[in-house]
A and B are shown apart, each in its own frame.
Chain A
Amino acid sequence: MKQSNISWQSVKTLFRLDLRSRKDATTELSHKDKAMNVMNFIFGVVIYAMLVAGIYFFTNMFVKRAGLSLEHFLSVSNLLTIGVSTIIAISTVVKNLYMNGDNELLFRFPVSGTEILIAKSIYCALHNFVVTVLLTLPFHIIAGAIAGASVGYYFGSIAMIIFQSFLPFFIANLVAIPVMKIVNLIKNQFLLVLILIIIAICGCFVIYMNALSSVLGYLADNRVNFFADPTIKAKIIEFANNSYPINLYAFVLVGGTEVVWRHPALCFVYLLLMNGAFGVGAYFTTTRCYYSTILCGIESEKESLVKVHKTNKVRSVFGTLLNREFFLIFRSFNYSFQYLAMACAAPVMVYYCNALASAMGTKSVGTTIVPGLTLLVIIIFVTIIVSFASTSISREGNVFYHTKIIPVSYTTQILTKLFLYGIVGTASVVLCCVTVAAAFVPEAGGALLTPLDVGMIFLICELVVLAETCLSIWADIKSPTFNVSGDGELVAANKNVAVALFVGIFTAILYGVFAMVFSFQGLTLGKMTFDMQPAEVYGILAGVSGAILIASACMLFVNLEKRYQKIVP
């Protein structure tokens, strides 16, 4: 790529174009849009406030409880924030520089590849800077406040965070090209992608739940200070001392001078050299490979699966509809992630959530609430999976006409979808129940559940899954939104998904609370006390679920042909 003749005016125009394309197309917003924007902003602020609160507890735990020095704490927290920033930066660089659909469009303009690269890189750098600041600043300020740092520390922190923001950006630019190569390599390996997604989901969830468990444990019992244990403290200090080169940032800011090479000035030189090396490497890698990589991306966009088994096969009508429905989900990264991966990962999530909730609940209330908690947790996770059915018609997108012209009744077509979603939902419920049975029924697991509990939880959850599936499909038949992107996939989840999630979670809470309240102490209303045996509680819930299932199946199938015929794409 030629380096000369860069028009900074073009770079500025491209950058502004990039920024504008991320905003709404219209400048005149309706009151509803403005209200939504305000709500989104408030929601964002609340989420960030929760993050800051979490950081406060985390920092308090290390600095106050464990008595870690600021230097060691910042070494650990910087490792965390730089790690997260780097992951976000890689994602931003890959999406904006290499995967963005506007690359082909921009190449048609009279601008050079270098100008496009610079304009997009400015956006990525700014994005990375904001992320780094938002993540790192609370750690520095809170740690400084708890440790009673001087005013100079806070000014130094700001300078250090700005300096710190370069590293994730440089690493992202170095890593993005190999990441793109891997993405291109595995994009049609659907099973491999699915397995990788499942592993990633389970891994992230396990890490998250373990961290949450530690924090909640700390909050629940202040007397037992895990971090005050001298052995644990020594291990953390050893880890902080060995977390090169990230700990150098902390040494620059608050490093002691007892060891010569930890002198702040010297550490700064090390960091400068390291950043320089990464920066030069990123510069040469990106400028040399950017153009060829996106050209390769544009050229390989149409690369697709080539089937090796070139035979024609006869299937029944039901079988062929089922086969098509499954492959349209399986061969889509988004749909695989939303549905199949979540269904496979659900047992792991249920196990960890249930273990944590049971541990917390048993401590505060008693073991009698565990069946109710298990019911609540399983229904919540299964609801997330089942909500996918609420796009079953919308996902047909541009090919919806096909469902109208084929010589198959709409009832059969809907039954096929219901069958597939029912099978996946049932499989997920079975796996979840087997997992909780294996974990909580034996004596070793605390015998928190009985076989009767597990059997009835399975029955109730299964009835709820089928009812929710029927209702989700019914809702999508009632108001589908065929808003699909170029590759035929839904642009965004429609309102039916939100409604399905809300109804499912509401049901889960209702069922869970009902089971917990009556299994714990019964309910007293005035002079009347409703005290029930577990079998009675399960009987009522199963009966209600059965009635809901019958009602939802009627809603779905009565007059289905007429209602479906009215859908106009």
Chain B
Amino acid sequence: MLTIKNLKKTYPKSDRLAVNDISFELKPGEIFGFLGQNGAGKSTTIKCLTGILPFDSGTIEICGYDITTDPIKAKMEMGYVPDNHSVYEKLTGREYVNYVADLYKVSLEDRQARLDHYLDLFRLRFAVDRQIKAYSHGMKQKICIIAALIHEPKLWVLDEPMMGLDPQSTAEIIAYMREHCRKGNTVFFSSHNLDLVKKLCDRVAIINDGQLIDMFDLKNNEENKANLEERFFKITGTYEKRLFEDYASQESEDMRPELPTEEDNNDNKPTDEVEG
């Protein structure tokens, strides 16, 4: 569904590699979580794979189409929800969704049925004929999600999608992510919410300082689920026993990992399944 090979990206006027030789592959029907601290390279990777940013080397294929050599076909298979909810605010919600649907050549019947479904799902019917500038933060996020889904993309990419959403909408999106994957599609999303990732994702990758440090299964793997926070904190170099204990104590009892020992505290190295 998505294949990234040896992706490298440097920003102009910067010597630092924002993304350094990242490789991974997403399978059909999985929910993939992309984790990392602020500035680790998550959004850069997502912007490269969506075509927003050019990259220095490597390849990105979406459903077999190369984003560089065959961008139109590659983009046709993808739906993207940005982290900043930027949309054309002077259009109404319906105009915006229709605009996107036109670009993805969605038939009238399909767009009507899908729009009706999503408007009810995200409880946005009351505002769909108002200009988006009047929407709240969460409503803008919802209209972005609806627009990204209007063409039923095979690959659904979301950059920190739950920010600013009410619990009801968060639950609806989680449910819809699962439903989307059951149809054989793939969801790729970045998040800072480890608890959400643990509950939702089939697989997860942790990126730090532009490099992919760790990638492992969460589906049917209770040990990896239990160790997710510890791995994340250690990989990102932010492990501190006191903070970790505070964080872990907020977790539910059944999900709580075994607290690390003093020895662990000194050992910051990632353990297994390192790729890229």
Q: Write the residues of chain A forming the contact surface with B, with a CB cutoff of 8 angstroms.
A: 188, 302-308, 310, 312-317, 319-321, 323-324, 327-328, 331-332, 397-399, 401-402, 404-409, 487-488, 565-566, 568-569
Contacts and interface: CB of A to CB of B under 8 A. Distances in A.
B89 interface: yes
Given A398-B84, A399-B88, A401-B86, A315 B129 contact: no
Nearest to B111: A312
B255 interface: no
Contacts of B133: 302, 304, 487-488
B86 A399 contact: yes
7 closest A-B pairs (Cβ-Cβ)? A304-B131, A320-B102, A398-B86, A304-B134, A407-B75, A331-B90, A407-B76
Contacts of A407: 71-73, 75-76, 103-104
Contacts of A332: 90
A405 B90 contact: no
Contacts of A401: 47, 50, 52, 82, 86
A101 B50 CA distance: 36
Contacts of B92: 305-307
Given A328-B90, A407-B72, A314 B99 contact: no
A565 B54 contact: yes
B53 interface: yes
A488 B89 contact: yes
B91 A327 contact: yes
A317 B51 contact: no
A420 B83 CA distance: 31
Contact of A323 (B47, B50, B99, B134): B99
A402 to B, nearest CB: 8
A307 B90 contact: no
Nearest to B129: A307
Contacts of B91: 324, 327-328
Given A324-B88, A401-B82, A304 B130 contact: yes
B115 interface: yes
Nearest to A306: B130
B108 A405 contact: no
Contacts of B80: 405
Interface string B85-97: 0111111101100
B217 to A, nearest CB: 29
Given A304-B133, A312-B94, A406 B87 contact: no
A404 B88 contact: no
Nearest to A328: B90
B249 interface: no
Contact of B52 (A315, A320, A328, A404): A404
Nearest to A307: B129
Contact of A306 (B11, B51, B87, B129): B129
A402 B144 CA distance: 11
Interface in B94-133: 94-95, 98-105, 107-108, 111-112, 115, 128-131, 133
B167 interface: no
A313 B11 CA distance: 40
A312 B131 contact: no
Given A316-B102, A401-B86, A404-B52, A303 B75 contact: no
Nearest to B85: A398
A555 to B, nearest CB: 21
A315 B102 contact: yes
B103 to A, nearest CB: 5
Nearest to A409: B72
Nearest to A399: B86
Between A324, A407, A487, the greatest number of chain B beta carbons within 10 A of the residue's beta carbon is seen for A407
A308 B92 CA distance: 11
B116 to A, nearest CB: 10
Interface string B123-156: 0000011110110000000000000000000000
Residue of A312, A331, A332 ringed by the most chain B CB atoms within 10 A? A312
A320 to B, nearest CB: 4
